[in-house]
Amino acid sequence: MPQQEPAPRRPVRPDASMSLLTTVMEHSLDAGYARAAARRRAADGARPAHGARTLRGRLWLAAGLALAAAVVTLGAAHARDAAPTVAREREELLERVEAGTDGLDRLQGDVDALRADVAARQRAALPEDHADRADLVALLAGATAVSGPGVELTVDDAEGAGQAASGGPGDGGFGQGGRVRDRDLQWIVNGLWQAGAEAVSVNDQRLTALSAIRAAGDAVLVDNRPLVPPYTLRAVGDGDELAAAFAAGPAGSYLRVLADDYGIRSATEVRDELRLPAAPSLTIRSASPVGSAGSVTE
């Protein structure tokens, strides 16, 4: 039999030894990635055109701006309508405050007149030596008005302090923002007593051993009565010696620090004649008989 010729062998590719690189080059996209790309192309075909999307976005933006403009317009109209009401209520409140202050001043005048009448009757009822002693006790307790030479000290906020930001009553006593605080007045009053003052008042409010200088917000209260700057402190005593002792003491140094660091203004004048009113809120706490007269503690 004739011999069958062997089948011709397929030629070997030159890159047969680089099958991995060949696969990467011929199939660069994995099947999973190909399916994801096909789904994305199908979804993009179902979406509206770019122009439709842009038009819809512009419509939503215009609607939002119109709504915001309507809200602002309504708020401004409401504020304009409410402004006269607020101003009228503020004026009514100020009138009530002024009327109450005037009424308080009238009542205080009646109290002062009655106190003077009681003091005159007490003096007439006491023997001469006891009357002199009672006058001294009343003077030291602040129960009677006092007049004589002394020092007038004016303390005021720094210029523009009303518009500056200020600390609170707990700011350590220094005039943060140029405002005079309750603790500042406490330092000054104590310095006047230490310098030898016999009687002291702040804005015509007589101070006693029971007086309190406190703060409520930015307001300074003396015996629960609000005061406004400038604060005028009057001290009865030997004017020249009193002024010199105050300036040389710690309170004088404290006042200079307030002026140098915070711009708080002050002025001191020696007066030949000062008149301080009686304290408005003294009450008799105890009384005990001594012989034919009595001993009274206020």
User: Which tens digit of pLDDT belongs to each residue from 127-160?
Assistant: 666 666 666 666 667 777 888 999 999 999 998 7
> What pLDDT is recorded for position 175?
44
Q: Would the pLDDT of 280 be above 90? A: no
Strand 219-222 relative to strand 293-297: parallel, antiparallel, unpaired? Answer: unpaired
Residue 124 backbone phi and psi in degrees, to 5: -70, -30
Burial class (CB in 10 A: 0-12, 13-18, 19+), 185: buried
Number of Cβ within 10 Å of residue 176's Cβ equals 16
- CATH 3.30.70.1880 assigned to domain 144-276? The reply is yes
Q: How confident is the model at residue 260 (pLDDT cuts 50, 70, 90)?
A: very high
Tens-place pLDDT, residues 16-37: 555 655 665 555 556 666 677 7
Q: How confident is the model at residue 188 (pLDDT cuts 50, 70, 90)?
A: very high
Question: Computed from CA positions of residues 203, 208, 214, 216, in that sequence, does the dihedral angle turn out positive or negative?
Answer: negative
Q: Would the pLDDT of 294 be above 90? A: no
d(CA 193, CA 198): 7
Give yes or no for a contact between 250 and 191, defined as CB atoms under 8 angstroms apart. yes
Cα-based distances in Å from 127 to 131, 139, 292 = 6, 18, 9
Q: How confident is the model at residue 54 (pLDDT cuts 50, 70, 90)?
A: confident
> What pLDDT is recorded for position 108?
77
What is the chain's alpha carbon radius of gyration, rounded to the nearest angstrom?
45
Give yes or no for a contact between 229 and 180, defined as CB atoms under 8 angstroms apart. yes
Q: Would the pLDDT of 51 be above 70? A: no
Provide the CA 227 distance to its chain's centre, in angstroms: 16
Q: Would the pLDDT of 79 be above 60? A: yes
d(CA 99, CA 54): 67
d(CA 211, CA 189): 11
> What pLDDT is recorded for position 105?
82
Listed in sequence order, the DSSP H helices in 126-158 are 128-141
Percent above pLDDT 90 for the chain? 27
Query: Domain spans of the chain?
Result: 45-106, 144-276
Q: Would the pLDDT of 61 be above 90? A: no
Give yes or no for a contact between 293 and 127, defined as CB atoms under 8 angstroms apart. yes
Cα-based distances in Å from 221 to 55, 175, 282 = 66, 16, 17
Residue owning tokens 């009542």? 107
User: What is the overall mean pLDDT for the chain?
Assistant: 77
> What pLDDT is recorded for position 267?
93
Give yes or no for a contact between 123 and 133, defined as CB atoms under 8 angstroms apart. no
d(CA 269, CA 277): 19
Closest CA to 258 of 161, 165, 193: 161
Q: Provide the β-strand partners of residue 150.
A: 236, 271
224: left (phi over 0), alpha (psi -120 to 50) or beta: left
Q: Would the pLDDT of 81 be above 60? A: yes
> What pLDDT is recorded for position 152?
95
Largest Cα–Cα distance in the chain?
175
Tens-place pLDDT, residues 159-179: 877 654 444 444 444 445 689
Burial class (CB in 10 A: 0-12, 13-18, 19+), 211: middle
> What pLDDT is recorded for position 3?
52
